[in-house]
């Protein structure tokens, strides 16, 4: 999801974090590689082991709630499934979900509650990169086993925190995947970009431009818009004047769907491309036939023929009456199961042992694909490519 620079995310919550300094001074850092947490520190953090407590922080209200609820549904599904099978090491899992309202300050408050009051054993979140980066201020210091299934900012696994793992490809990985697919499988070589005027959108535009130019293609113009905008005719009129072969939308579906419709209304016939914001059924419902043919990066689609995927889809549909068609559900479901497997392999509820096991994962089967983490905690899995065709998502490439 959207990303900000680390400094922006950290500054916006400084006033909240100052109150935590005394706590952190007692607990110690434990975040950098090679700086283990002592057993007494681990014990003081964990508290009672009667249940294994997993904290989830995401947007449960506001504009991101549609995605946040999918995350919560998937986490509940995985926890219930594991508990029905006997739990982990003879203990039940307990999910504690908190609403960050897509606000870094709220994310910090929620994460601090989960760590200090609920004494969670593992943390999953968030929907946005800015809220994730803010939360990592606490999680890295407290050395809490941390799974980031949704937020895509490269910076998340570049902070030197030994306890942070992302089980989805990052932003650079999806941009490179789209550019490579175009260069190897498409004929378009002249592009216009319409990008959200945030760190997320600007980074997508900049990275795509770099990759596509390196492959011998050309970016004719980059036009920016603000979050919440509804009228994009000015930007699109400029795009049309350049007569591009491809139009790349670097933003999320709320505005992206309107960009697609308005581009077609203006008679722009360029092949459309976009990123993970166009996953699932919602973009199709918002854009209607205007999005037919749009190609985008994808992290998950409910494909047939994979028993792990089919089982997850069946369980989710039975529980919630919906087919899970995006990584907002699949990646969080995987995150809970990855934590479960790490605890089982560790044989005890100890943060250092759990973290060590996650670092050793290699080709662990999961809904999103086999999971291996690199030395920074970033999954090494490749990105899918999908296309909207006649009102449905079709997978063009699956690694």
Percent of the chain with pLDDT over 90: 77
pLDDT recorded at residue 38: 34
Query: 11: pLDDT confidence band, cut at 50, 70 and 90?
Result: very low
Residue 86's Cβ-count burial label (10 Å; 0-12, 13-18, 19+) is exposed
Q: What is the CATH number of the domain that holds 119?
A: 3.40.50.2300
| 378 in any annotated domain | no
Q: Tell whether 94 and 217 lie within a shared domain.
A: no
Mean pLDDT, all residues of the chain: 88
Q: Tell whether 30 and 162 lie within a shared domain.
A: yes
Tens of pLDDT, residue by residue over 133-186, are 999 999 999 999 999 999 988 999 999 999 999 999 999 999 999 999 999 999
Q: Tell whether 161 and 177 lie within a shared domain.
A: no
Asked whether 146 and 355 are in contact (CB, 8 A), the reply is no
Q: Is the pLDDT of residue 365 over 50?
A: yes
Q: 238-252, 279-293, 335-349, 350-364 — which is least confidently predicted? A: 279-293
Q: Tell whether 230 and 278 lie within a shared domain.
A: yes
The domain in which residue 218 lies consists of 172-298+385-397
Helix then strand then coil, % of the chain, to nearest 5: 50, 20, 35
| 374 in any annotated domain | no
Q: Tell whether 69 and 120 lie within a shared domain.
A: yes
Q: Structurally, how many domains does the chain consist of?
A: 2
Q: Is the pLDDT of residue 21 over 90?
A: no
Order of strands across the sheet that contains 164-166: 92-99, 51-58, 122-125, 146-148, 164-166
17-24: average pLDDT: 38
| 373 in any annotated domain | no
Q: Tell whether 277 and 136 lie within a shared domain.
A: no
Kindly state the tokens that stand for 333: 């479901």
Tens of pLDDT, residue by residue over 201-258, are 888 999 999 999 999 999 999 999 998 899 999 999 999 999 999 999 998 888 999 9
Query: 22: pLDDT confidence band, cut at 50, 70 and 90?
Result: very low
Q: Tell whether 342 and 318 lie within a shared domain.
A: yes
Q: Tell whether 33 and 157 lie within a shared domain.
A: yes
Nearest to 177 by CA among 92, 295, 341, 265: 295
| 227 in any annotated domain | yes
Q: Tell whether 264 and 323 lie within a shared domain.
A: no
Tens of pLDDT, residue by residue over 299-320, are 999 988 999 999 999 999 999 9
pLDDT recorded at residue 47: 42
Residues 10-29, buried b or exposed e (16+ Cβ, 10 A)? bebbeebbeebeeeeeebee
Tens of pLDDT, residue by residue over 45-73, are 444 458 999 999 999 998 789 889 999 99
Cα of first residue to Cα of last residue in the chain, in angstroms, is 21
Query: How far lies 165's CA from each of 134, 142, 185, in Å?
Result: 16, 15, 32
Q: Is the pLDDT of residue 28 over 60?
A: no
| 158 in any annotated domain | yes
Q: Tell whether 14 and 146 lie within a shared domain.
A: yes
| 187 in any annotated domain | yes
Q: Tell whether 107 and 217 lie within a shared domain.
A: no
Q: 45-49, 65-69, 115-119, 376-380 — which is least confidently predicted? A: 45-49
| 1 in any annotated domain | no
Q: Is the pLDDT of residue 398 over 90?
A: no
Q: Is the pLDDT of residue 36 over 50?
A: no
Residues 190-205, buried b or exposed e (16+ Cβ, 10 A)? ebbbbbbebbbbbbbb
Q: Tell whether 205 and 244 lie within a shared domain.
A: yes
Residues facing 94 on adjacent strands = 53
| 235 in any annotated domain | yes
């Amino acid at each position: 999801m959207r990303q900000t620079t680390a400094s922006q995310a950290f500054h916006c919550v400084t006033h909240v974090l100052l109150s935590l300094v005394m706590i952190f001074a007692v607990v110690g850092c434990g975040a950098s590689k090679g700086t283990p947490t002592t057993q007494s520190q681990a014990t003081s953090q964990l508290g009672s082991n009667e249940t294994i407590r997993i904290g989830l922080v995401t947007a449960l209200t506001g504009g991101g709630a549609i995605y946040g609820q999918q995350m919560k549904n998937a986490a509940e599904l995985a926890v219930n499934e594991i508990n029905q099978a006997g739990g982990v090491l003879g203990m039940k899992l307990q999910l504690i979900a908190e609403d960050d309202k897509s606000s870094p300050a709220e994310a910090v408050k929620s994460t601090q509650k989960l760590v200090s009051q609920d004494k969670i054993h593992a943390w999953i979140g968030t929907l946005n990169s800015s809220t994730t980066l803010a939360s990592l201020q606490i999680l890295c210091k407290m050395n809490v086993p941390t799974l980031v299934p949704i937020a895509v900012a490269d910076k998340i696994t570049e902070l030197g925190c030994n306890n942070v793992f992302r089980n989805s490809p990052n932003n650079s990985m999806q941009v490179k995947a789209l550019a490579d697919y175009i260069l190897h499988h498409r004929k378009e070589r002249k592009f216009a970009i319409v990008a959200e005027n945030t760190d997320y959108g600007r980074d997508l535009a900049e990275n795509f431009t770099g990759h596509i130019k390196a492959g011998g293609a050309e970016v004719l113009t980059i036009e920016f818009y603000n979050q919440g905008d509804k009228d994009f005719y000015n930007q699109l009129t400029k795009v049309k004047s350049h007569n591009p072969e491809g139009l790349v939308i670097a933003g999320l579906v709320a505005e992206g769907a309107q960009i697609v419709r308005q581009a077609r209304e203006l008679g722009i016939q360029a092949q459309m491309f976009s990123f993970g914001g166009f996953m699932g059924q919602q973009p199709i419902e918002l854009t209607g036939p205007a999005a037919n043919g749009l190609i985008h990066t994808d992290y998950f689609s409910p494909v047939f023929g994979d028993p792990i995927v089919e089982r997850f889809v069946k369980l989710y549909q039975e529980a919630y009456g919906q087919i899970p068609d995006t990584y907002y559900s699949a990646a969080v479901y995987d995150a809970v199961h990855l934590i479960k497997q790490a605890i089982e392999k560790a044989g005890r509820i100890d943060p250092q042992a759990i973290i060590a096991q996650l670092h050793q994962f290699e080709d662990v089967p999961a809904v999103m694909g086999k999971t291996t983490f690199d030395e920074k905690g970033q999954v090494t899995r490749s990105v899918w490519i999908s296309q909207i065709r006649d009102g449905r998502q079709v997978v063009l490439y699956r690694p």
